[in-house]
Amino acid sequence: MDACHSRLTYTRVELLALNTEVVNVCTGSNSWISIKIGVFERCGRRACVMRRRRGRRGGLRRRIRRQRKKNRLALPTVITGNVRSINNKIDEPAANVSYDNTYRECCVILLTETWLTDNIPDTCMALNNYSLVRGNRSEQSGKRHGGGVCAYINAHWCKNFVIKHTSCTADVEILSVQCRPFYLPRELSCVVFIVIYIPPSGDANRATEAIASVALDIQQTKPEAAIVVTGDFNGASLHDALPTYAQYVNLNTRGRSCLDLIYIKMPTRSQACHPSADLTT
C-alpha cells in the first residue's frame, strides 16, 4: 500500500482546480449565473458576491472593547463614587489605574467628599496618565473639614479641558469641567462634567436650583454639548429642576439608599450611542 501511494502525483493544473468554488453572480437584470472563482480571487462587484470577512470576531461587546482601546467611544466611560477622604486611600486608585484595565482605560474618574485642602499639593494626589481638577471646600460653606469634589481626566482621552464653574456653599459644592477629547461624534461639540456634593445638612431645594442654574447656563452657551451631572445627592433629585435630563442609576449605591446619581442631557440632534452602553458606575 505504501508503494502504491508513493506513485500518486498531481499536476499544477489539477491542484489549481481544487482551489475553486461556485458562486452566484448577479448580471444586473434580476438574473443570476453560476461561475467558478478561486478562493483567493476577488470579485469586482462586492454587492453581487457575498463573502465572509475573516480575521475579526463580531458582536457589540467586542466592538465596544476595540473602540475603548483606541479611545474612540461615542460617549466617555465614567467612574464615580464617594471616597470620604482620598488622601489616605490614594494608593488604591493608583494601583487600579496601573493594573486594572477598567480604571486604566476609563475616560474620567469623578469623586466626591475628597476632604482635600490647599495644604495638600496636586503631586500627592496624582495618578498615572490622569490630569487632576480639584474643587476643595472653602470657608463659604461654613465648615472647615470634609466635602470637596475632584475629577481625574485621562490624558489618552482628552488633554483639552477647561474649568467652567466652581462654587462652594453650605447647600452644595459644584465643579464643572468642559472637555474636548481627541475623538467625538460630529453631533457633539464637547462633553461637560458637573460634579456635585450636597451635604446631609444642606437644603435640597436651594441645592437643586444652583445645579440647574449651572447646567442651563452651559446648555445655552453650548447647545451641542453632552452634559453629565453626577455626584452625591444625599436624597435630592433633579427631576423637577431639570426635567429633560435622564437619570441612569437604578440600584442602591450605599446600603439600602441610592445616593450617587448620574444625569445626562444629550443634544436634540445627537445620534450617538445610548449612554447606558458606555457608562461604568
pLDDT digits (tens, 9 = 90+) for 111-142: 999 999 989 999 999 999 999 999 999 887 88
In the chain, how many domains are there? 2
- Does 24 fall in a domain? yes
Mean pLDDT of 24-49: 52
- Does 80 fall in a domain? yes
Q: Is 161 exposed, middle or buried (0-12, 13-18, 19+ CB in 10 A)?
A: buried
- Does 148 fall in a domain? yes
Q: Specify whether 210 is located in the same domain as 90.
A: yes
Q: Specify whether 90 is located in the same domain as 158.
A: yes
CATH number at residue 142: 3.60.10.10
What's the CA gap between 29 and 12, in Å, rounded?
37
- Structure confidence by residue, pLDDT tens digits, 184-209: 888 899 999 999 999 999 999 999 99
The answer to whether residue 177 scores a pLDDT higher than 60 is yes
Could you give the C-alpha distances from 156 to 208, 214, 250, 273, in angstroms and in order? Answer: 33, 28, 30, 21
The reported pLDDT for the residue numbered 24 is: 56
* Whole-structure pTM value: 0.73
What's the CA gap between 166 and 7, in Å, rounded?
87
- Does 44 fall in a domain? no
Mean pLDDT of 34-63: 57
Structural domain that includes position 9: 2-38
Q: Specify whether 75 is located in the same domain as 130.
A: yes
Least confident stretch, 54-63, 124-133, 153-162, 214-223: 54-63
Tell me which residue of 140, 93, 142 sits closest to 114, measured CA to CA.
93
Q: Specify whether 147 is located in the same domain as 20.
A: no
- Does 53 fall in a domain? no
- Whether 149 and 98 have beta carbons less than 8 Å apart is answered as no
**Average pLDDT score over the chain:** 82
- Structure confidence by residue, pLDDT tens digits, 226-258: 999 999 999 999 999 999 999 999 889 888 889
Q: Specify whether 91 is located in the same domain as 219.
A: yes
Grid coordinates belonging to 10: 498531481
Percent helix, strand and coil across the chain, each to the nearest 5: 20, 25, 50
Q: Specify whether 23 is located in the same domain as 124.
A: no
What's the CA gap between 279 and 281, in Å, rounded?
6
Calculated CA dihedral for residues 191, 166, 280, 74, nearest 10 degrees: 0
- Does 51 fall in a domain? no
SS3 state of residue 124: helix
- Does 187 fall in a domain? yes
Q: How confident is the model at residue 273 (pLDDT cuts 50, 70, 90)?
A: very low
Question: How many other CB atoms are there within 10 angstroms of residue 176's CB atom?
Answer: 25
Q: Specify whether 80 is located in the same domain as 125.
A: yes
Q: Specify whether 12 is located in the same domain as 137.
A: no
